[in-house]
């Protein structure tokens, strides 16, 4: 059993001082930490569950207030961008959560401190811990401070006219690999060319499109791929954007 960790530096990076520091200790306790200091015998999974809900509400609130003329669809996409696994792990790195994680030696040896999923889970748990130790307005302020310029004017908004960007964001929520575009054909005279492109990910063709330029053909292929993925997994338009 380890001594209780010194989490004051992490509190400073989070911008919040805990009344019950055991909540923060729990938030940084990875499920693998069976032999480490575990407050009340708990890891961070329950706080992760709570923090996810707090983040969803926080960004729904912020986007609703900031963008009063925006429809539900773009608002949902913007929120998904802010709470997907990759963005959450980026925020965890911003406050150096990885260095504070309590985990087994095996998990650490296997790169656990830099694992995207572990960082994202710990960040959600930290938000949940702040909420449990205070209230929603306080948690909201902490979230706004950590995200900073990412939620500045327009920064959270998805480009609804950029299917290639949206597709890349969608597939890379769970994979480090970007979509790959291939020019399949080019036909017609020089002044009136027609290009056909396909887009692939994970060895699978996701979409096919055509256009007067290669860029138009790739955008059309990306749009088809988005339709396919959203039809296969409808919740990608409603949840954290991590399903594809």
Residue 215: which CATH number?
Answer: 3.30.160.20
pLDDT at 189: 86
**For the chain, how far is it from start to end, CA to CA, in angstroms?**
40
Q: State yes or no: pLDDT of 57 exceeds 70.
A: yes
Domain shared by 167 and 147, yes or no:
no
Q: State yes or no: pLDDT of 71 exceeds 70.
A: yes
Does 244 or 146 have the greater pLDDT score? 146
d(CA 180, CA 227): 17
Domain shared by 141 and 180, yes or no:
no
* Structural domain contains residue 158: no
Domain shared by 168 and 121, yes or no:
no
88, containing H or E segment = helix 85-94
Domain shared by 125 and 174, yes or no:
no
Domain shared by 97 and 178, yes or no:
no
* Structural domain contains residue 3: no
**Domain's final residue, options 87, 119, 151:** 151
How many folded domains does the chain comprise? 2
Domain shared by 91 and 30, yes or no:
yes
Domain shared by 99 and 19, yes or no:
yes
* Structural domain contains residue 156: no
Does 113 or 159 have the greater pLDDT score? 113
- Residue 124 annotated as catalytic: yes
**Domain's final residue, options 95, 129, 151:** 151
- Beta-carbon contacts of 175 under 8 Å, excluding residues fewer than 6 positions away, are 201, 202, 244
Domain shared by 174 and 220, yes or no:
yes
Q: State yes or no: pLDDT of 89 exceeds 90.
A: yes
pLDDT at 239: 40
* Domain of residue 60, residue span: 8-151
d(CA 156, CA 60): 12
Q: Which region among 22-36, 86-100, 170-184 has the lowest average model confidence (pLDDT)?
A: 22-36
Q: State yes or no: pLDDT of 236 exceeds 60.
A: no
Domain shared by 27 and 62, yes or no:
yes
Of the candidates 48, 52, 85, 100, the residue annotated as catalytic is 52
Domain shared by 77 and 28, yes or no:
yes
* Structural domain contains residue 174: yes
* Structural domain contains residue 89: yes
* Structural domain contains residue 80: yes
Domain shared by 175 and 118, yes or no:
no
**Domain's final residue, options 122, 151, 180:** 151
Q: State yes or no: pLDDT of 40 exceeds 60.
A: no
- Max Cα separation, the chain? 75
Of the candidates 43, 85, 121, 124, the residue annotated as catalytic is 124
* Structural domain contains residue 242: no
Residue 75, domain CATH: 1.10.1520.10
- Residue 52 annotated as catalytic: yes
* Structural domain contains residue 114: yes
Q: Of the candidates 139, 129, 136, 113, which has an alpha carbon nearest to the alpha carbon of residue 24? A: 129
Domain shared by 233 and 181, yes or no:
yes
């Amino acid at each position: 059993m380890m001594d209780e960790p010194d989490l004051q530096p992490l509190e400073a990076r989070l911008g919040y001082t805990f009344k019950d520091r055991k909540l923060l200790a729990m938030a940084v306790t990875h499920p693998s930490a069976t032999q480490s200091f575990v407050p009340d015998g708990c890891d961070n999974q329950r706080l992760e569950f709570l923090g996810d809900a707090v983040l969803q509400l926080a960004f729904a609130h912020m986007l609703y207030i900031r963008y009063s003329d925006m429809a539900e669809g773009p608002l949902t996409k913007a929120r998904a961008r802010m709470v997907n696994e990759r963005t959450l792990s980026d925020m965890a790195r911003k406050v150096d959560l990885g260095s504070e994680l309590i985990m087994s030696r095996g998990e650490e040896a296997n790169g656990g401190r830099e694992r995207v999923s572990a960082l994202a889970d710990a960040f959600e748990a930290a938000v949940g811990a702040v909420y449990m130790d205070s209230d929603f307005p306080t948690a909201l302020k902490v979230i706004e401070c950590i995200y900073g310029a990412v939620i500045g004017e327009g920064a959270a908004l998805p480009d609804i006219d950029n299917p290639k960007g949206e597709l890349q964001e969608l597939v890379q929520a769970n994979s480090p690999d970007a979509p790959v575009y291939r020019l399949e054909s080019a036909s017609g005279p020089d002044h009136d060319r027609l290009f056909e492109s396909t887009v692939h990910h994970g060895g699978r063709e996701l979409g096919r499109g055509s256009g007067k330029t290669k860029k138009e053909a790739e955008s059309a292929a990306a749009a088809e791929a988005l339709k396919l993925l959203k039809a296969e997994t409808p919740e990608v338009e409603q949840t954290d954007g991590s399903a594809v």
